[in-house]
Structure 1
Amino acid sequence: MYAEERQSLILERARKEGRVDVAQLSADYGVTYETIRRDLTALERHAVLRRVHGGAIPVGRLAFEAPPGPRNEILAEEERIAKAALAELPENGAVLLGSGAVVAKLAEFFPNDRELTVVTNSTLAVLSLLPRENIDLMMLGGRLRARTRATVDVWALRALEETYVDVAFITADGVSAERGVTTADLADAQIKQAMIGSASRTVLLADHTKVGRDHFARVAGVEEIDRVITDSGLPFDLKEELTASGARVLTV
C-alpha cells in the first residue's frame, strides 16, 4: 500500500471514530510505529489531523477544558513530581508558583530550613504556605478563576511585569514537541507567559497524561522551558520527541 492510500484510510478512520491510535494502526496496516507517526505528521501538516498522546484526532475535535473528574489515578504521580521539583528550589531567593494541583502539592512540601520569597496566583498554594514563618509570601491580585482557584488578567499581569525571580514552577494542560506548552484558557496562558518572562529559569510540572496533547492557547515553545518534570508513565518515544525539541526531561 502506498503512503498516500494509507493516509487517506487513516484520515477516514479518524473522522469516523473520533481518534486513531498509533499502536492499533501499526498492527492493522502491518507497518512500524515510526511509519504511522510519519503518516500522522503528514496529515497534520495538511491541517486535517492533530497529533495527541498516542495517536491523533481530526481537526475540529481539539481538546478543550474538561470538567473535573476523579483524580485518584494520578495523585501518586503528582506527588512524585512535586517532590522531585524541590531540587529546583534555590537555597535562598525568590520563586513563582503558578496554578495547578501539582504546584499546589509542591507548596505543601516546601522546606522549613531556607528563607524564600514566594510569589503566586494560586490560592491553594497560599493556604499551604501561609503558616510558614520562613516564607515571605506575596499573592498576585486579579480576577479569581473558580475552576483553578487562581488569579488572572490585568492586575496579575501588571504585577508580574515588575517581578523577577530565580525560578518559576508552572503547569500545563498539554505539552508536545510540535505545539509546545498549551493550556485550555487564554487568560491562564497569558499568566503563564508572564511568569516565564519574570523568571531566570522555568520548570514545567506535568504528569504523563499531559504530554503529547495540544490545547487551545499556546504558552511557550518547549525550548523556552528549562526543565520538564513528569512521571515514569511517559512513553519513551514522547520523551525522545521532547528531548529532540530542546527540553531537559526528568521522569520520576
Structure 2
Amino acid sequence: MDTSQRHSYLHDVAAREGKVLATNAAEALGVAVQTIRRDIRQLCAAGLLERIHGGAVPPSGVSNIGYGDRRALNREVKLRIARRAASLIPDNASLFLNIGTTTEAVAHALHGHRNLMVLTNNLNVANILANNPTCDVVVAGGSLRRADGGLVGDLAAIAIDRFKVDFAIIGTSAIDLSGDILDFDPEEVRVSQAVIKAARSCVLVADSSKFTRKAPVKIASLAQMQHFVTDRILSEALINKCADWNTRILRA
C-alpha cells in the first residue's frame, strides 16, 4: 500500500469512527507505527486531520473534540503559552480565566503568584487555584457542562457582570484568519463576551493549531485583545492586522 492509499485509509477511518489510532492502523495495514505517525503528521499539516494523543480525529467543524483529547493536544506548546501569559499578571491583581485546557495550564502557571483574586467559570481552574493559599477564587455560577467542568449560560454571565477585573485570559476553540475568535457553544460564548466586557485588559491564549480548526460561533475579534500569546501565526496578513489593532503578539 502506497502513501496515498494509507492517507485515504486513515482519513476514512477517522471520518467513520470519529478517530484513528496509530497502533490500530499500523496493525491493520501491516506497516510500522512510525510510518503511520508520519502519515498522520502529514495529514494534520494539510488540515485533513487533527492530532490527539495516539492518533488523530477529523478537523473540528460544528462540534468540539473530547476534553481528554484536547488536554493531550499540543501539551508542551500550551505549557509554554501558559507560562508566557502568567508572566503578564502581577501580584495583587484581579483576573478572569474562562473554559479551556490552555487557561487551565495558565492556572497552574500562576502558582507562584501572590494575592490574586481570580474569577472563573471553569471548575477545573477553581480546583487548581484552590492549592494557592494567597489566591481568592470566585466561581461564576451557571449550568454545569459535565464534559469539561465549565459553567455556562445566562446565570454565569449575570454573575460576571458584577465585576470589573484587571485581566481576562481567554481561551478559544478556533481562530479565523480574518481575526475572529470562535467557539462551539453559544452558552459559553455568552459568558466569554461578558468577560471581555468586564476586563480592563484581555489576553488571548491559543496555539497555532487553532488556525486550522473551524467553529461556528463568534466570541470576539483579535482587535478586542490587548495581547495574543501563541507559538506562531500562520498568516502574515493577520500579523499586520494585529499591528493595526494594537494587539501585541507574544511568542511562546
Whole-Å separation in 2 of the counterparts to 1:243 and 1:212: 18
Where does residue 218 of structure 2 map in the other structure?
A: 218
Taking structure 1 as the reference length, what is the TM-score of the superposition?
Answer: 0.70
Whole-Å separation in 2 of the counterparts to 1:132 and 1:202: 23
What SS does the aligned partner of 2:63 have? coil
Where does residue 133 of structure 2 map in the other structure?
A: 133
Does the alignment pair 1:183 with 2:183?
yes
Sort the Cα spacing of 1:87 and 1:239 in 2 relative to 1 into closer, same or farther, 3 A: farther
Amino acid at match of 2:104: A
Where does residue 148 of structure 1 map in the other structure?
A: 148
Where does residue 9 of structure 2 map in the other structure?
A: none
Does the alignment pair 1:65 with 2:63?
yes
Q: How does 1:18-57 map to 2 (within 5 A)?
A: none
Where does residue 110 of structure 2 map in the other structure?
A: 110
Q: Is the 8 A contact 1:92 1:116 kept in 2?
A: yes
Taking structure 2 as the reference length, what is the TM-score of the superposition?
Answer: 0.70
Cα distance, 1:87 vs. partner? Answer: 1.6
Whole-Å separation in 2 of the counterparts to 1:120 and 1:174: 21
Where does residue 168 of structure 1 map in the other structure?
A: 168
Cα distance, 1:71 vs. partner? Answer: 5.2
Q: Is the 8 A contact 2:71 2:101 kept in 1?
A: no
Cα distance, 1:115 vs. partner? Answer: 0.6
RMSD: 2.6
Whole-Å separation in 1 of the counterparts to 2:225 and 2:186: 19
Where does residue 18 of structure 2 map in the other structure?
A: none
Percent identity over the alignment? 24
What SS does the aligned partner of 1:215 have? coil
Q: Is the 8 A contact 2:211 2:234 kept in 1?
A: no
Which blocks of at least 5 consecutive residues in structure 1 are unaligned? 1-52
Q: Is the 8 A contact 1:90 1:166 kept in 2?
A: no
Cα distance, 1:65 vs. partner? Answer: 1.9
Q: Kindly tell me the number of residue pairs found equivalent between the two proteins.
A: 196
Where does residue 53 of structure 2 map in the other structure?
A: none
Amino acid at match of 1:65: S
Where does residue 3 of structure 1 map in the other structure?
A: none
Cα distance per residue 1:60-99 (max 9 Å; x no partner): x982123323754500000000000112213312110101
Where does residue 13 of structure 2 map in the other structure?
A: none
Which blocks of at least 5 consecutive residues in structure 2 are unaligned? 1-44, 49-58
What SS does the aligned partner of 1:211 have? helix
Where does residue 19 of structure 1 map in the other structure?
A: none
Cα distance, 1:251 vs. partner? Answer: 1.7
Q: How does 1:192-203 map to 2 (within 5 A)?
A: 192-203=192-203
